[in-house]
Amino acid sequence: MIASFATASAAALLAGLMMSPSFEAKLSSLFEKEYRIETVAHRGASGYAPENTIAAFEKAFDMNADYFELDVQMSKDGELVIMHDKTVNRTTNGKGKVGKLTLKELRSLDAGSWFGPEFSGEQIPTLQEALDAFRGKIGILIELKFPELYPGIEQKVADTLIERNMHSPANEKIIVQSFNFESIKTFHKILPEVPVGVLTYRAQHHSNAMLQEFSRYADFVNPNKSLVSKKLTDRIHALGMRTMSWTVRSNDDIRRLHNAKVDGIITDYPDYDPRSR
């Protein structure tokens, strides 16, 4: 009788606690702590070192980023090189289109001095060089840049990953993305086991029909930060995809994206930790 009364009293007390606002707040806080944004260093830690260079990738690693992002194009002689712009004009001491220069010509350029004298002599890296230097240390988000200019680049990138046994998500953290949706479809057909993402920059990219189409082959929908809302994030998640937003350069942006529950931020400043806010 006494035992039954004690059990009933304990149950009543627990029920009362669960109904209390303070308990609900603590429970909510507990689940909130489980939410974590992954940090992707945009072209490496490009706020602190010249973009798309080994120096920028090393800085991203030192700052404990989850991934660094890089842009892949092809040289005149078919080598996979890391460069954002169609030309080398902005970020090197040379001139000309990436696809019109050989690997030897590209490697002879200074890709660091424009950012600061301490980076003088920094070279344009190849994709192979970046993968070999950082495999297993940090995730790598590979963007296929202007793939329409480089027929076959999807197969070349796939072959480069396969050669290093980096095409299995269980082995390495690799994601491939592009603004070119057809290119990402092609890559997905070649290596369906590698997660892929589409980069979006227009509201019409987020129509119900477009999101449904993306969900047939993509693991990520990565929108411009100006398009992100909690509603959009929920719609992406409801279709089984994740979302990383770009390009983040202020604390205010990161707080807003944190509130929208994005899965990752692509930022020039990977030392910002949204969990600390």
Tens digit of each residue's pLDDT (9 = 90 or more) over 36-87: 899 999 999 999 999 999 999 999 999 999 999 999 999 999 999 999 999 9
Residue 27 has pLDDT above 80, yes or no: no
- pLDDT reported for residue 274: 56
Tell me whether residue 2 is in a domain. no
pLDDT digits (tens, 9 = 90+) for 160-203: 999 999 998 666 699 999 999 999 999 999 999 999 999 999 99
What residues make up the domain containing 60?
37-276
Residue 2 has pLDDT above 80, yes or no: no
194 to 8, 36, 65, 213, 248: CA distances (angstroms)? 54, 22, 20, 18, 25
Number of domains in the chain: 1
Structure tokens at 263: 């899965």
Tell me whether residue 31 is in a domain. no
- pLDDT reported for residue 131: 97
Task: Provide the 10 A C-beta neighbour count for residue 260.
Answer: 17
- pLDDT reported for residue 35: 83
CATH code for position 169: 3.20.20.190
DSSP state of 235: H
Dist CA 133 CA 123 (whole Å): 14
- pLDDT reported for residue 20: 52
Between residues 242 and 23, the one the model is more confident about: 242
Tell me whether residue 24 is in a domain. no
- pLDDT reported for residue 123: 98
Give the DSSP H/E element, type plus range, for residue 221: strand 220-223
DSSP state of 140: E
Mean pLDDT, rounded, for 202-221: 98
Tell me whether residue 6 is in a domain. no
Tell me whether residue 74 is in a domain. yes
Tell me whether residue 242 is in a domain. yes
Tell me whether residue 25 is in a domain. no
Tell me whether residue 255 is in a domain. yes
DSSP state of 149: G
Among all residues, which ones are annotated catalytic?
42, 84
Structure tokens at 235: 């719609």
